[in-house]
Homo-oligomer: A and B are copies of this chain.
Amino acid sequence: MTNVVETHASEAPVRRGRGRPRNPETDTRITEAAAELMLERGFDKMTVDDVAARAGVGKATVYRRWPSKEDLAVAAMQEIYSAEIPDPDTGAIRSDLVESFRNVLGFVNSPAGQAYLRMSIAESVRDPRIAALYRASTERAEDQACRMYERAIARGEVRDDIDLLATVQWLGGLLAARAITNRPMPTVDDVEMLVDFTLNGIHAPSPPR
């Protein structure tokens, strides 16, 4: 019939002449409203009518851009997963770890961090596309951590036969486990102990073996 238009509002509009052009600001108003409601209530209790109302647009305007509520949620999460992560490089593995653990624990103990973590977990299990987004976001952080460990291996501080991926994921996994089962997060006061476990494991230092 008419010109076929790509649905996803993310990419360049690639001007096509005829008719009233879409207001690009409307895109961001909708995704911002959706992101707010996702973090406030979660996917289930967020209604598309609410999103449209908060964004000040008609529901049809939402569905003209994203074919389903799930796609809208993906777009909203995509906006959320775009933050910079500090990359400590102090020259020693212990202080690098303390620094980065401190950053992570500070975030996940904030209200925003709590909502972010719970939402990411729940929606990742529900929708593989959100899982991919969350995964990409965490992998950026993990890549940084891997380089941190590799620098330490090059310095001879860390064994070279470790499972690097399991190592960089273990803290995130612990936080996920706590979030899932509704248990208190470790706080910044626990940083020393967590770092010590990473470095030394649990073995008694000398006597046995």
Chain A residues proximal to chain B, CB less than 8 Å = 42, 44, 118, 120-122, 124-126, 128, 131-132, 134-135, 138, 149, 155-159, 162-163, 166-167, 169-170, 172-183, 186, 190, 193-194, 197-205, 207-209
Q: Is the CB of B172 within 8 A of A177?
A: yes
Q: Is the CB of B203 within 8 A of A163?
A: no
Q: Is the CB of A180 within 8 A of B125?
A: yes
Q: Which residues of B are found within 8 Å of A170, using beta-carbon distances?
A: 170, 173-174, 197
Q: Which residues of B are found within 8 Å of A180, using beta-carbon distances?
A: 120-121, 124-125, 131, 134, 176
A27 CB → nearest B CB, Å: 27
Q: Is the CB of A198 within 8 A of B204?
A: no
A58 CB → nearest B CB, Å: 27
Copies of this chain present in the complex amount to: 2
In the bound complex, CA of A183 to CA of B162 (Å): 19
Interface of chain A, helix or strand or loop or mixed?
helix
Q: Is the CB of A166 within 8 A of B181?
A: no
A74 CB → nearest B CB, Å: 14
Q: Is the CB of B131 within 8 A of A202?
A: no
Q: Is the CB of A186 within 8 A of B202?
A: no
